[in-house]
C-alpha cells in the first residue's frame, strides 16, 4: 500500500479526485461532490477550508474536511473536521487515523487547542481520541452529537 495524504485544492488531478469522491455511497459525500463541482464548498465553509484525501496510488481510501464553520452554527466553536468518509473496502483498518492526525496538525498550526466533529455516529470517533461533548442543533434542523478532542 502506498498511502499518502493530499489536499484536493493543491492536487494536480482534481478531476480524478472529484470523481473518486463521487464514488462514495453516502449522501453527505454526494453533497460534498456537488459543492466542489459547483464551486460552493469554499463559499459554504470558508476560503481557508481544506479537503484532505487519503490515497493509495490512484485510489481514494478516505477523505475529510478541515473547516472553521460546519453544520453547527456557532462561530465560537471552531475548527471542525467534517465530511468524514472511508470507502468500504478500507474500513476496519484504522487508516482514517492518518487523516485525524493531519487535521490535528493543521488545527494546532492555526493556534487551536480543540478540534470538533459533528456526527450521528456513536463509537467511531472515540477510537481516534474524541470525546462526546454535547448535542446541538444543526443548520439542517436536526440534533447532532458534537465530539471534541484536545489537541
| Residue with cell string 434542523 | 141
Q: Residue 45 above 90 pLDDT?
A: no
Quote the CA–CA distance of 61 and 98 in Å, as a whole number. Answer: 11
Quote the CA–CA distance of 146 and 119 in Å, as a whole number. Answer: 6
Q: Residue 7 above 90 pLDDT?
A: yes
Instruction: Name the burial class of residue 113, with classes exposed (0-12), middle (13-18) and buried (19+) by CB atoms within 10 angstroms of its CB.
Output: exposed
In the chain, which ranges are E strands? Answer: 3-7, 50-56, 59-67, 80-86, 114-119, 131-137, 143-150
Quote the CA–CA distance of 130 and 147 in Å, as a whole number. Answer: 6
Q: Residue 54 sits in which domain range?
A: 3-150
Closest CA to 64 of 108, 6, 114: 6
Q: CATH number of the domain that 116 lies in?
A: 3.40.630.30
- The per-residue pLDDT for 73 is 87
Closest CA to 42 of 15, 16, 24, 69: 69
Q: Residue 88 above 90 pLDDT?
A: yes
How many distinct structural domains can be found in the chain?
Answer: 1
Quote the CA–CA distance of 126 and 139 in Å, as a whole number. Answer: 24
Give yes or no for a contact between 56 and 23, defined as CB atoms under 8 angstroms apart. Answer: no
Compute the mean pLDDT over every residue in the chain, rounded to the nearest whole number: 95
Confidence of residue 44 (pLDDT cuts 50, 70, 90): confident
- The per-residue pLDDT for 46 is 86
Quote the CA–CA distance of 34 and 140 in Å, as a whole number. Answer: 17
pTM for this prediction: 0.93
- What is the arithmetic mean of pLDDT over 100-123? 96
- What is the arithmetic mean of pLDDT over 106-134? 95
- The per-residue pLDDT for 69 is 86
Amino acid at each position: 500500500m502506498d498511502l499518502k495524504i493530499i489536499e484536493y485544492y493543491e492536487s494536480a488531478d482534481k478531476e480524478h479526485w472529484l470523481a473518486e469522491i463521487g464514488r462514495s455511497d453516502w449522501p453527505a459525500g454526494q453533497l460534498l461532490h456537488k459543492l466542489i463541482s459547483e464551486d460552493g464548498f469554499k463559499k459554504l465553509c470558508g476560503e481557508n477550508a481544506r479537503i484532505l484525501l487519503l490515497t493509495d496510488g490512484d485510489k481514494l481510501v478516505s477523505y475529510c474536511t478541515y473547516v472553521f464553520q460546519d453544520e453547527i452554527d456557532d462561530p465560537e466553536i471552531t475548527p471542525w473536521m467534517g465530511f468524514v468518509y472511508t470507502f468500504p473496502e478500507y474500513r476496519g483498518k484504522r487508516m482514517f487515523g492518518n487523516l485525524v492526525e493531519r487535521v490535528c496538525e493543521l488545527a494546532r498550526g492555526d493556534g487551536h487547542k480543540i478540534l470538533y466533529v459533528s456526527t450521528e455516529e456513536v463509537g467511531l470517533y472515540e477510537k481516534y481520541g474524541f470525546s462526546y461533548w454535547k448535542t446541538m442543533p444543526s443548520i439542517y434542523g436536526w440534533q447532532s452529537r458534537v465530539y471534541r478532542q484536545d489537541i
